[in-house]
Structures are given as structure tokens and as C-alpha cells.
Structure 1
Amino acid sequence: MVVRRSQDQLPFLLLLPNLVTISGMCLGLTSIRYTMVGRFELAVALLMLAAVIDGLDGLIARRLRATSDFGAELDSLSDFLCFGVAPGLLVYRFGLGEANALGWIAVLVFAAAGCLRLARFNVMRGDEATSKTHFTGVPAPAGAMLALLPVFLQLAGLIDTRQMPGLVGVWLALVGLLMISRIPTLSPKALRVPRWGVGGLFVGTVIGMGMIVTRIWLLAVVIDVIYVALLLPAIWKMRGRILR
């Protein structure tokens, strides 16, 4: 009887990473809801929070030694919803307009690229050499934040991106292509901070925290621009064979 009881129970800590993943998925679904009613700032904020949670669930799973194939598949499905479907719908409603047929094609390209990206990631999951040094293509959460750049620019009051739906559509499709490209992109696991840069990192963190509560959309624009700047050398190096 004692043995049967132990077999019918699971430690809560083993379930915690999956609970975090489900929470992120709920944020993505709720973002879609607010997108449909035109509350774009809240919808974007929920996607940004989902991106943070996406980074936490894997970290929690590794720290608790609670990784599993089930958790990995659940994470991929949640990522497709939060970073493939939700950002595309948000950009479409915000900057492309429901009557823009070409804009909808850009949304389809982005969502399909996100799906293909996650499928490829699942296949390559066991490639330790790749996972420890760099990602292949832009990761889904980073792609979602790049796709939202036109929204960030508008909310920050820098550019009226709603007046240029063609450029917004091209940008959305381009980000999708970057997600399924062969460009090596930076992995957080490979980041190293020199001793002389520790103080600057602390100061940058303080500035970032201040901007979160004062100019969060401007901060999002700055982060996207920095990320694109880091991508440009790799794009130039692999020109002509990005999608091969």
C-alpha cells in the first residue's frame, strides 16, 4: 500500500517548470484577447512578460533537475502561441489594418516561420555543441520582440508606423525569415562579462530598471536596435547562404 501511494504521487517541484510554462501560455492567450479589443499596450506588455517567463521555465527545470520530453514539447507549443501567433495578430491589428491582404500574408509568413523554427529546434535539441555556443537563427522570443518593433516605435512616440503598413509588413516577414535562417545568433549561455565591464553592467541595469517604469517603450526600441546591430555582422558574413 505504501509503494502504491508513492507511485501515485509526484513531487510538486517536478511540476513547477510546467506550471510556469502554462502561465506563460495563458499570458499569450490573454494578449490575443486584448489585441482583439484594441488595448495594444496591455497586449504588448503581456507578451513581454511571457518572454521573461519563457526564459525562466527552462532555467527552473534545469536547476531543479526536472527536465522532461513532455516539458520540452509543452514549451514549444506555448512558444508557438506566444511568439508565433500572438505577435503576428498584434502587429496586424495595430499597424497593418484588417483590410490589408498583403499584410495578412506577412503575418502568415511570420507565424509559419515561427512554427518551422520551433520544429527545427526540437529536432536539434540534443545538439549540445550548438546549444552551448549559439542559436541557429533568431530564437522565437527574440523574434517576437523584433516583430513588435513597429509597435514599440509608435508607443514610444518616435515614428508613426501606422502610416506605413507596407514597411511594417516587410519587416514582419523579414523577421520571420531571420527566425528560420542559418545565422548563428548569440546564446545567453555563451555570454561572458570581463571584470572591467562589471561596473558598467550594474549601471546599465539601474538605468534599465528606471526606464522600465518611466520609458518602457523606448527601452524596448533600444534593446531591439542593439539586438539587430549584433545580428548584422553575422548576416553580412553569411550573405547568400542565410536560408541554406
Structure 2
Amino acid sequence: MEPREREQMPFLLLLPNLVTIAGMCLGLTSIRFTMVGKFETAVVLLILAALIDGLDGLIARRLRATSDFGAELDSLSDFLCFGVAPGLLLYRFAMGEANALGWVFVLIFAAAGCLRLARFNVTRGEAGAGKTHFTGVPAPAGAMLALLPVFLSLANLVETREAPFGAALWLGLVGLLMISRVPTFSPKSMRVPRWGVGVLLMGTAIAMGLMFTRIWLLMALLDLIYVAMLVPGIWRMRGRILR
């Protein structure tokens, strides 16, 4: 083989990393729109970044293009998109620029996201193919949970901007859940009983309807459902939530 041919890499092997970079750009652009007060656009970009975060790994596995480089790149992108951007967005949206106490909770959330991703990196090789749950709330899910006050306000359900301290506490709580030992479900663990198939299909139809009519209400409902699913694990782990 010629040296020049050995230096070349098939485009398909680069595709997962390109998708990861695209997600990182969405997260960074979300911060840009947060800075100018265009919160709805910023939230939409973070939702798209969360969708892309699941896509790059799937593409890498399908193309057999997984690599340590790609895994590290994905974690760096996740920290920006799900550890930094959500905290800044909630801070500007609900706490105001001069809220020093709120900024403390933004730092707590960012630090928790960093620790969560670092733990994931060092235990990545230990996760077997049959792993049925995550330990702690994953970073993308944590980002969506952190934005619950934003979803509630945009859906005109609760005006969270009138309770900045509550929004700050919520952000800190989500950060703690990200670094906790609470078992959270993995897609591999999902089992649907026969009687639940119809319910699931009906729920999907309702969700699709809300997506195009009341998307913020849909996102708030999804967050609340996820919180309800965490409650049993939190109850079982009470007294030893943190490592």
C-alpha cells in the first residue's frame, strides 16, 4: 500500500465525529442566543443537541467506527451542551444577571455535569452489553430536567421568573441527581406489557400532537414523567444517595 493511501481515512469513519461537532456547535450557538435573550431559540437548539447526542453513538456503532477519540470528543461536547449551556440559560432566564446566589447553583450544576461525564469515561469499559440502567441522571437528561422551570414558563403554566431562588434550588438538585447513585433506566431495560402497547401508542399520538401545537407543555410533561420515574430509585437509595 502506498504511504499516501495509508494516510487517508474513509469519510464514513469520520461521520460520527462530524455529527458530534455539529451537536457541539448547536450547544455553543444556544449560549449565543441566551446572551441576547432569545430563550426559545436557545432551548430548541439544546433539544436538537440532545437528539444529536444519541445519534452520533448510534451511527458510530452501525458503521463500526467507534474509537477512544470519538468517545472523548463526545464527552467534551456533552459538557458544553449539557453541563454549561443549560445552567447559563436558566440563570439568564429566571435568576437575572446580578443574582450571586443563583450563580453559585450554576457552578454546582456545571461541576456536577463535569463529574458525571468523568465518571462515565472511566467506567465506560466496564459497561457490558447487557447493562440495564445508568447510575445517576445522564447528562442530556439532566440538561432537560434543568430546563423544567423554562418549560413551565414558556408553556404559561407557572411563571418561574417570579421565583428565582426556587429555580436556583432546582438547578442544584438536578446537579446532585447527576452525580448520585440513583439507578435510572436505560433503553435496554425497557419492557412493555401487552396491555401497555395501546397506552404507549396513544401516548405517542398525543405527544406528536403536542409537539406541533404545545411543544413547551410537552417538554414540561416529559420532565415531570421522568422525575416520577426517578422517585422509586431515590426512595430505595435514601440515606446513601451520594458516593
- Give 2:49's aligned residue: 50
Q: Secondary structure at the match of 2:184?
A: strand
Letter in 2 for 1:186: F
Alignment of 1:164 with 2:163, yes or no, is: yes
Q: 1:131, 1:52 → 2: CA distance?
A: 23
- Does 203-212 or 145-154 show the bigger shift? 203-212
- Give 2:172's aligned residue: 173
Within-5 A mapping of 1:104-143:
104-129=103-128, 132-143=131-142
Contact 1:133 1:190 in 2 (8 A): yes
Alignment of 1:40 with 2:48, yes or no, is: no
What's the offset of the Cα at 1:200?
2.9
Q: Which runs of no fewer than 5 residues in structure 2 stay unpaired?
A: none
- Give 2:196's aligned residue: 197
Letter in 2 for 1:197: G
What's the offset of the Cα at 1:12?
1.2
Q: 2:163, 2:17 → 1: CA distance?
A: 40
Alignment of 1:23 with 2:22, yes or no, is: yes
Contact 1:17 1:57 in 2 (8 A): yes
- CA 1:193/1:6 → structure 2, altered by over 3 Å: closer, same or farther? farther
Matched pairs, number: 243
Q: 2:189, 2:12 → 1: CA distance?
A: 27
What's the offset of the Cα at 1:129?
4.0
Contact 1:17 1:58 in 2 (8 A): yes
TM-score (norm 2): 0.97
Alignment of 1:182 with 2:199, yes or no, is: no
Q: Secondary structure at the match of 2:41?
A: helix
- Per-residue deviation, residues 182-212 of structure 1 (Å, max 9, x unmatched): 1111111222233443333233222211111
Identity in percent: 76
- Per-residue deviation, residues 83-120 of structure 1 (Å, max 9, x unmatched): 00000000000001111110000000000000000000
- Give 2:217's aligned residue: 218
Contact 1:131 1:187 in 2 (8 A): no
What's the offset of the Cα at 1:4?
2.1
- Does 147-156 or 188-197 show the bigger shift? 188-197
**Structure 1 segments of 4 or more deviating over 6 A?**
none
Q: 1:189, 1:173 → 2: CA distance?
A: 29
Q: 1:24, 1:188 → 2: CA distance?
A: 21
Tell me how large the CA RMSD over aligned residues is: 1.3
- Per-residue deviation, residues 6-46 of structure 1 (Å, max 9, x unmatched): 21211111111101100000000000000000000000000
Q: Which runs of no fewer than 5 residues in structure 1 stay unpaired?
A: none
